[in-house]
Structure 1
């Protein structure tokens, strides 16, 4: 399964046993349908949330090749290289449900709301014909319900400004059960990849069968029109939670940031294109998207670098990301003596207090002590010298170097480029 975020792929015996034990015995009257929603890990979890669904099995359907994971991936590569015209399987889930407790229309409402059926051979981070949206039926009555619900949902999508549904609706011709390690994958691997939760458009005239993605967009009155970051999330996205823990819970940046469970832009604001994965962090200026960062996977440095190339000047970027150095005597804050704090210009995290600043005569702002946990130190052998580089612990940007010729009490001289510092004066008491 080709995904853009790193995934933990490890078996968990206890989780597998628990998942199997939790499956109820089948009642006398059941029905089933086969659905393609992109990666079957997330599809399995979403369809299993419907009351009355008895079992959801991952599999491969309606292709012309062997029904194995390796065969599907290899065949898709051959298709992309133009070396075969044979049809690939779709990754699917076989949804078995108690007809006395839930009808097919309710199952299909959850299907339509839980993914984006307008993307063709793509879903979330996954691209390829094996990730196509599909409804594979076993009789004419199922086909009729599938077409009816498709047309109803298309009306809602069109009203919301989205494109045409590309979902394949056809009789089920071939079906293969996926390998055991794919079954109940997110039960066994809670940190596993789940994909995007849908378009955010509700099925007309009905509430969602399970975990609906139909959340309202953010109110623009609560946002900063001049410059605003919005983190577009989905309810079951483990990487959204990771971004929250790694970045949002420590947010001190001067740029306003907000979180949205709707994939739609605030009213009157404009996205450059539809979202296809979560989290996606979008930078808006004057209500229009200027850049986006898609698919956070724990690399905070990469996120801050993306943001830095939009917030910092070219001179600041050269220092922050290329270990550049301003000419002595040319940088900012050399003569700054007011009580206050020097902070990271990207993250806003405090770095040095002004009472730790002193006149070193070097031509760069110098400090004898950083704030606790504010910096990290790294060996630097560049330019034929052995030095110790100083970086911001929050954003990872290059700040300068530290030397052992400073004043008491530390004996250190933190020689910092003033152009990558922002000074925040203390409030008058």
Structure 2
């Protein structure tokens, strides 16, 4: 679709109204505002600049020229035109969702996106909208100040030069589930937000406070940053968090700020985001999730395993015979995946095969998967961990009864947990 300008006095119909809002990248803004009951349409676009009839690449190029002093004037902001039914949701509730869904204190940026085209903005088309925009700004500022945040930088101006964005930007996150999606704010609720007309106004909801670092593990702590109405967060919980047995302490927060006195390398921009902290500083992060469990566990594995373990786990390596750990381990207990902590083998199934690698005649139920391996001019059956996907070893048909199987496993990718 070719970008098209619309008149700033445009209305939709007698039963609907609209307002234009800038919250950083319009992909996430479109998704967030579309979640509000009573919103009937959200359209990505550009507004607030000096030029009409431009497109996405023109705006990016103009911003680059502004930053190096080769252009003058005002660039457009990425915005969303939010059309809503006043009988179902008030304009105040629409603006409350706007304030809660991004960080309005960052000036010409939002998260990792930097530039005046990512500024926070409210573009109104009548005096009633202007009055309410200013009033909600002052109300939200009080909540932000109480939570320790700075001044709101959102510009509130009459709508001018609105341009509908290209078709590929519309409903972008529905078309591209792995795309950029804003975290959904900084965890500070708009006081007394009445999100639907048929809902009784309630007292201010408590804000989501940053995690207290005193309650966390200073040496190594995994923090999962989530957001409201985040389907990928729900999937991550179902796939990973609900089965968490790893040694790394893990905690979930709805606040996009680091724990008190701890440091993030850069702002968060998608949810969920998993950040590994050590000694109060970020050492690694995994941004976003779309059901790729093995990819997540591999990321964590590279933070937890030694180079030797990584070579076995992720490159199908093999330790030299009689050199690996757990070869002579005979205590009652279980051998677990070194990343996920899930039980792979129990000590009562271990036997001395004389091969130089820990050997078992039976794995824990459902703990391993099997894969054809034709490497090295041999035909073998590879054994991997079902929970993390890491390479463990191979299985042969020369074991003792009752299974007559020999699971020949690299000891360095087993962790022993005594009973």
TM-score of the aligned structures, taking structure 1 as reference length: 0.76
Task: Give the stretch that moved more between structures: 161-170 or 124-133.
Answer: 124-133
**Shift in CA distance, 100/234, structure 1 to aligned 2, threshold 3 Å:** closer
Q: 2:45 aligns with which of 56, 60, 84?
A: 60
Alpha-carbon shift at residue 156 of structure 1 (Å): 5.2
Matches within 5 A, 1:4-403: 26-27=14-15, 31-38=17-24, 40=26, 43-44=29-30, 46-47=32-33, 53=38, 55-62=40-47, 64=51, 66=53, 71-72=55-56, 74-75=57-58, 87=75, 90-96=78-84, 98=86, 102=90, 104-118=91-105, 123=110, 132-139=119-126, 142-143=129-130, 145-147=132-134, 149-150=136-137, 153=140, 157=144, 160=147, 165=152, 167-176=154-163, 195-203=182-190, 206-210=191-195, 214-220=207-213, 222-403=215-396
| d(CA) in 2 for partners of 1:306, 1:80 | 35
User: In 2, are the aligned partners of 1:369 and 1:414 still within 8 Å (CA)?
Assistant: yes
User: In 1, are the aligned partners of 2:396 and 2:408 still within 8 Å (CA)?
Assistant: yes
**Shift in CA distance, 209/223, structure 1 to aligned 2, threshold 3 Å:** farther
**Shift in CA distance, 142/378, structure 1 to aligned 2, threshold 3 Å:** same
Long gaps (5+) in structure 2: 1-12, 197-204
Q: 1:414 aligns with which of 393, 407, 411?
A: 407
**Shift in CA distance, 371/48, structure 1 to aligned 2, threshold 3 Å:** closer
TM-score of the aligned structures, taking structure 2 as reference length: 0.77
1:58 match: secondary structure? strand
- Per the alignment, residue 3 of structure 1 pairs with none
- Per the alignment, residue 12 of structure 1 pairs with none
User: In 1, are the aligned partners of 2:223 and 2:253 still within 8 Å (CA)?
Assistant: yes
1:230 match: secondary structure? strand
2:317 match: secondary structure? coil
| d(CA) in 1 for partners of 2:172, 2:281 | 38
| d(CA) in 2 for partners of 1:242, 1:219 | 26
Task: Give the stretch that moved more between structures: 211-220 or 344-353.
Answer: 211-220
Alpha-carbon shift at residue 54 of structure 1 (Å): 5.8
**Shift in CA distance, 168/344, structure 1 to aligned 2, threshold 3 Å:** same
User: In 2, are the aligned partners of 1:38 and 1:132 still within 8 Å (CA)?
Assistant: yes
Alpha-carbon shift at residue 296 of structure 1 (Å): 1.6
**Shift in CA distance, 79/382, structure 1 to aligned 2, threshold 3 Å:** farther
User: In 1, are the aligned partners of 2:108 and 2:120 still within 8 Å (CA)?
Assistant: yes
- Per the alignment, residue 417 of structure 2 pairs with 424
User: In 1, are the aligned partners of 2:94 and 2:195 still within 8 Å (CA)?
Assistant: no
User: In 1, are the aligned partners of 2:275 and 2:285 still within 8 Å (CA)?
Assistant: yes
User: In 1, are the aligned partners of 2:339 and 2:388 still within 8 Å (CA)?
Assistant: yes
Alpha-carbon shift at residue 221 of structure 1 (Å): 5.7
**Shift in CA distance, 220/277, structure 1 to aligned 2, threshold 3 Å:** same
Q: Deviations over 1:20-61 (max 9, x none)?
A: xxxxx955xx6532112345565456446667x564431423
Alpha-carbon shift at residue 236 of structure 1 (Å): 0.8
| d(CA) in 1 for partners of 2:336, 2:355 | 21
Long gaps (5+) in structure 1: 1-24
User: In 2, are the aligned partners of 1:135 and 1:169 still within 8 Å (CA)?
Assistant: yes
| d(CA) in 2 for partners of 1:305, 1:49 | 33
1:98 match: secondary structure? coil
